[in-house]
Amino acid sequence: MSVESLSMAKAINLGLRKAMEHDEKVILMGEDIGPLGGVFRVTEGLQAQFGLNRVLDTPLAESGIVGTAIGLAMRGYRPVCEIQFDGFIFPGFDQITSQLAKLTGRHEGSLSLPVVIRVPYGGHIGAVEHHQESPEAYFAHTPGLRVVTPSTPHDAYWMIQEAIAGNDPVLFFEPKSRYWPKGDVDARASGIPLHTSRVVREGTEITLLGYGPMVNVLLAAAEIAAAEGTSCEVIDLRSLSPVDYEPIVASVQKTGRLVIAQEAPGFVSVGSEIAATVTERAFYSLESPVLRVAGFDTPFPPAKLETVYLPDADRVLEAVDRAMAY
């Protein structure tokens, strides 16, 4: 494969396949990931190719999945765990935040834990409670964990391989609403490093920043704003921990304005942290306050109300208008 049009689900599948071909210590674990290929078919065909010992169907026990992965990593393996849905990660929360995140520090760096935890997250799939959440801030807040999320199939293909190849625990958040739209994947060009934010649309008057499922929304908003005479620069964060601030600060110094968008609730969030840091680092360049567009600070609503809860291009454009009014 060179350049091919693929869905994100297929791109992650191929990325997992490449990682498993490259290193026999890479194993996959999760609920229904074997013959079924996972709820979203991301692991489809991998058990048939690599066998039962490398693609393991597990019991419905997220704490057990993560705990087993920690033990395997301590024995030299590179386990990749799938959490079936974002809201199901909480039974494994203690293992992730109390053990996986801290064991390397406890051993003063002498012990590596190359565990990747794949988490389908976000809304726009019309699902019920516990199936459309955005829990990324919990893990970005936890020292010892790396947290990343792709927004395109190309990034997904390369980022999953980079995450698996690293020696630190990685929470790999996969935007469910972006599993099916296709995009070009270049298997010859890996692009930028895992923990790098990037400008995906150049602009001069205001910076729009988002990650995962929001990047496509921001690009749509930028198109509308351009037709109305406002030039928006769009940045894909890609890495939530650590955050690559250099392109963000440089963009804000150029445009003087910043709108941050996310599906997660806004209170004590990734967007909150970035807003505070950009204000610290680029205060004298700002022409208006940093504004945030987020999910509401309520539990995720029933599916019929998800379009009201989740930020869309209209809500982003309303923030753009407010920022430009200063």
**Is beta strand 116-121 parallel, antiparallel or unpaired with respect to 170-175?**
parallel
314 contacts 308 by C-beta, under 8 angstroms: no
Backbone angles phi, psi at 177, to 5 degrees: -70, -15
Q: Give 80-115 as a 3 state SS string.
A: EEECCCHHHHHHHHHHHHHHHCCHHHHCCCCCCCCC
Backbone angles phi, psi at 278, to 5 degrees: -65, -40
Task: Confirm whether 154 is a catalytic residue.
Answer: no
The two three-digit tokens of residue 270, written as one number: 């990734």
How far is Cα 307 from Cα 315, in angstroms, rounded to an integer?
Answer: 11
How far is Cα 234 from Cα 287, in angstroms, rounded to an integer?
Answer: 18
Report the amino acid identity of residue 75: R
Helix and strand numbers (H, E) in the chain are 12, 14
Count the neighbouring beta carbons within 10 Å of the beta carbon of residue 148.
Answer: 26
The residue from 107, 124, 130, 131 that is catalytic is 131
49 contacts 19 by C-beta, under 8 angstroms: no
Backbone angles phi, psi at 110, to 5 degrees: -80, -15
Q: How far lies 192's CA from each of 121, 143, 174, 189, 202, in Å?
A: 23, 24, 18, 9, 17
Alpha-helix runs per DSSP H in 149-285: 153-165, 214-227, 246-255, 270-281
H or E segment and range at residue 207: strand 206-210
The two three-digit tokens of residue 156, written as one number: 């997904």
Task: List, by residue number, the catalytic residues.
Answer: 131
